[in-house]
Amino acid sequence: MNAMVVLILSIVGIAAGYGFYAKTIDKQVIQPDAKKATPAKMYMDGVDFTPAGRHVLFGYQFKSIAALGPILGPIVAVQWGWLPALLWIILGTIFIGWVQDYASIMIGVREEGQTFGALSYRLISPRSRLILITFIYFYLWLIMGAFGVQVGFNLLTNPAVPLGVIFVILVGILAGQMTYKWKQDIILTTVVTVVLALVGIWLGTLPGVKSLFSSLYGTAGGATSPTWFLAVTQARFIGTLLVVIICYFGAVLPIWRWAQPINYVSFWIVLLGIVGGLIGLFIWRPSMGDFPAYTTWTVAGLGPLWPILFVTIACGAISGWHSLVSSSGTARQLESETDALYVGGGSMFLEMFFATMAFLTATVAFGGLQGYKDAGGGAAAASVFSKGLAAFMNQWGLDKALGEGFGVAYGAVFLTLMALTIMYLVVRFMRVASAEALGDRFPVMKNVHVGTIVALILTLILIWLVPFLQIWVMFGAANQLMASLALLLVTLWLMSKGKRYQWTLWPFAFMFVTTIGALAFKIYEAFVLNLPNAGTKHGALTVGQYSTAQVVIGLIAVILMVTALILAWDGIKAIRRYQAEAAAPAKP
Amino acid sequence: MKYSPGVVEIARKLRALASALGDIVYGATIYEMVRDLQKERGRIERLFVLVVFGDFLGIPILPPYYALQLLPYVVPSIETWKTSLLRERDLIDLVDFDT
C-alpha cells in the first residue's frame, strides 16, 4: 500500500469520526451550552482556573498529550503486520480515543473542575481515591521506565546525538535567561535559540565529536561497548546517567529556569521535524514494498495480537494520560462548553494523524519488513523513527551523506526532547507523591532532592533490569487501564445524570477486558513461561538477574491488576446503584 | 480599489485561519509560561488577602489598620478567593504542572 493511501485513510477517519460521530454525540447527548458558565469563568482565580480561547487551548492540549506514546507504539506494533496496527490506530481513535478525551473534559467542566480523585471518591467509593492514586504512581513509574530505556539505551548511545541534546538544553536555559531576566523580545529569543539548537545538532554529527563520544562509550574503531553489569554496556550506562541528570535538574529547579524554556525550544525542533518529514513524505510518496499486512498471531517478546497489540499502541488510539490532562488541566481553562469537542476531540484526532506518520516511518521508509528489522525493529523503535524521519527529510534533495547524518541525529534529538518533556513532569509528580505518602513517617522524604533521587533510582532499576518490550507492554497496559477507568467514571457520571451512556460503556468494557487480559498475560509470561525457564531464556543477563526482572515485571502487573479489579468491582456496584435509582419510582 | 465580495470573504477566512494557527502555536509554546506567571501572581495575591483578611475565614489574625481601606477592592473577589483557598486538592491536581 502507498503512503498516500494511508494518509488519505486517516483523513477519511478524521472526517467520519470527528465530523459525524463525535459531533452527533456532542449535540445529542452532552448538549453543550455556550451560555452556561464554565468553572474557568465561575472560579477564575488566576491559579487553577483561568479561561483561555479555543485555539490556544487546542495548542495546549495537543502539546500536553503528545509524547513518545503515539510514535513508539505503532513502530513496535507493526511486528504483527501493518493492517492490525493501522486499523487499531484509526478505529480506536474514532470509537474510543476521542470519547475519553472529550468526556474527561466535559465531566471536569460540569463537575466544577473536580479531579478524577475527587470524582472517584464521590461516584465510585471512598476507597477508590487512594487506589486510583496508588495506581497512578505505578503508571507514572512505568512511563519513566519506558521512555527512559529508549532515550538512555537507544537514542543517546548514538555518538552523534548526545551533544545535540546537551546543546538544546543549554540553549533552552539561554531562552529562559533571555525571556525572564534580560526581557528580550520572544521572536528574537526564538530565532536565536532555534538556530543555535540546529547548529548544536549539526555539530554533534561532526566526526571529531562523534569520535569523542565513541571513545567515551568504548565503541571507538567500531568496537562493541563493554558490558559493565546486567545488560548495561558502558554506552548505555552513560546514556541513562545523562537522562537521570537531566531529569534531576528538571525536577528540582524552578520550572521557568529549566523545564519550560527547554520545552519551548524543543517544540520548534519537533515542529520543524514533523513538517519536514511530512513534506518529504509527500515528495517521495513511497509504498510499503513487501511489508506484510499480517505476520503472525504471536510475536516473540511481545505476545498474542489480542490483547497485546491494543496496549502496545496506546496514545495513538487511546491513552489514560490524556484523561488526566483533560480533567485536571484543560477542563479548568475552557472558556465555553461548546469548545470541548474541538479541544479534546480535535487534538486526539490530530494525535491519530501523528501516530499514522510514525506508523509510516516503520512501514514505508525502509522498503519492507527486512529494512524495518535492519533499522532496529520493535526493540529499538526510537532508532527506527529517527532513521525513518531522516529518510523522509532526505527527499528534499539534500546531499545524501549530510542528510542521513544530520537527519538521524535530528530525529533522535527530536524524540529525546519529546520524552524529556513528559519525564520532568513525571519525576516532579513522583517526588510530591512520595513526600505526601511517606513524609510524615520519614520526614527526609519531604526533602526535594531526596524525593527526586528516590524516584530516579526507581526509574534506573526499571531501565537497567527489565527489557524494553516488557516495560513498553506494561506501560501500555497501565495507560490503557487508566483510560478504561476514566471511561468508567464518565459512564457512572452519565448514569447519575440520566443521560445515554452506551457510547462510553462499551469502550470501557472493551478496554477493561483487553487490558486486564494483557496484564494476566504478562503475569502468566513472567511467572509461568519465563521464570521456570530462566536457565534457557536469560540471554545476556545471568539467570539470577533475569529471574529478578521477571519477578519485578510480574509483581507490577499483579499490583496494577488488583487495584484495577478493586476499582472495577466498586464501579460495577455503583453502576447497579445508579440503575436501581433510575428504575425506582419517583418520590411524590 | 474595490474587491468583489468573494475575494473579501476569502481574505477574511485566510485572516481567521492565520489567527487560529497563531493561537494554536501560542497555546503550545508561550501560553504555559504566561500562565505560570499568572499563577505566581495569583498565589501571591491569595496569600496577601489571607494575611490581611484571614479573619473572614476564622483565622485569628488581627486585621491591620489599612484592611478597611482595602476592603472595597477585595469585596468583588472574596468568593473566588475563598473557593480557591479552601478547595480540596489531591495529587492528581499536580498533573497540571503545578508542583
Q: What is the pLDDT of residue B98?
A: 44
Say if residues A452 and A183 touch (Cβ distance below 8 Å). Answer: no
How far apart are the CA of A51 and the nearest CA of chain B, in angstroms?
10
Closest CA to A138 of A559, A490, A473: A559
CA pair distance A99, A345, nearest whole angstrom? 7
Q: Number of structural domains, chain A?
A: 1
Q: Residue A588: inside a domain, yes or no?
A: no
Classify residue A352: in a domain, yes or no.
yes
Q: Which residue of B has its CA nearest to A39?
A: B80
Q: What is the ipTM of this complex?
A: 0.90
3-state secondary structure of A465: helix
Counting one residue from chain A and one from chain B, the pairs whose CB atoms sit within 8 A come to 128
- CB–CB of B91 and A136 under 8 A? yes
Rounded to 5°, the CA angle A60-A148-A358 comes to 60
State the CB neighbour count (10 A cutoff) for residue B34.
14
**A547 in a domain, yes or no?**
yes
pLDDT band at B94, cuts 50/70/90? Answer: low
pLDDT at A542 (0 to 100): 80
**A127 within a domain of the structure (yes/no):** no
Residues of B in contact with A329 (CB under 8 A): 95-97
Rama region for A526: left / alpha / beta (φ>0; ψ in -120 to 50; rest): alpha
pLDDT score recorded for residue A400: 65
CA–CA dist A281, A473 (Å, integer) = 29
Query: Is residue A358 within 8 Å of A244, Cβ to Cβ?
Result: no
Beta strands at A227-229 and A298-299: parallel, antiparallel or unpaired: unpaired
pLDDT digits 0-9 by tens, A419-448? 998 898 889 888 888 888 888 889 999 899
Chain A residues in contact with B35 by the CB 8 A cut-off are 50
Contacting residues for A278 by C-beta, under 8 A, at least 6 apart:
A357, A392
* Interface membership of A147 toward B (CB under 8 Å): no
Report d(CA A579, CA B52) in Å as an integer: 50
User: What's the predicted TM-score (pTM) here?
Assistant: 0.92
> In the predicted model, what is the mean pLDDT of chain B?
87
Task: Closest CB to A59: pick one of B25, B35, B43.
Answer: B25
Return the residue matching grid coordinates 500536553: A64
Of A218, A204, A199, residue with least CA distance to A164:
A204
Q: Cα distance from A176 to chain B (closest Cα, Å)?
A: 10
Residues 6+ apart with CB under 8 A from A185: none
For chain B, the structural domain boundaries read: 5-94
* Inside any domain, residue A204: yes
Contact between A503 and A541 (Cβ < 8 Å): no
Residue A59 forms contact with B (CB below 8 Å): yes
Whether A49 maps to a domain, the answer reads yes
Number of H helices, E strands in chain A: 26, 4
Question: Inter-chain contact A328–B95, Cβ cutoff 8 Å?
Answer: yes
Low-confidence residues in chain A, pLDDT < 50:
none
Judge: A328–B80 Cβ closer than 8 Å, yes or no: no
More confident residue, A315 or B16: B16
Helix (H/G/I), strand (E/B), else coil: A228 = strand
Of A511, A470, A151, which is closest to residue A323 (Cα–Cα)?
A: A511
Q: Which residue of chain A comes nearest to B81, CA vs CA?
A: A45
Name the burial class of residue A166, with classes exposed (0-12), middle (13-18) and buried (19+) by CB atoms within 10 angstroms of its CB: middle
Burial B39-62 (b: 16+ CB within 10 A, else e): beebeebbeebeebbbeeeeeeee
- Among the partner-chain residues A57, A324, A332, the one whose CB lies closest to the CB of B27 is A57
The answer, for A138 touching chain B at a CB cutoff of 8 Å, is no
Q: Taking residues B47-70, what's their average pLDDT?
A: 88
**Is A432's CB within 8 Å of B88's CB?**
no
pLDDT digits (tens, 9 = 90+) for A441-450: 899 998 999 9
| Cell of residue A483, nine digits | 483510560
The closest of A478, A475, A479, A503 to A491, measured between CA atoms, is A503
Do B28 and A429 lie within an 8 Å CB cutoff? no
Which chain B residue lies closest to A426 (C-alpha atoms)? B95
Place of cell 528516590: A454
Cell 510514535 locates to A71
Is A126 domain-assigned? no
Report d(CA A61, CA A326) in Å as an integer: 7
- Answer yes or no: is A506 within a domain: yes
Rounded distance, CA A49 to CA A333, Å? Answer: 6
Domain of A520, in residue numbers: 3-121+132-583
Q: Which amino acid is at A576?
A: R
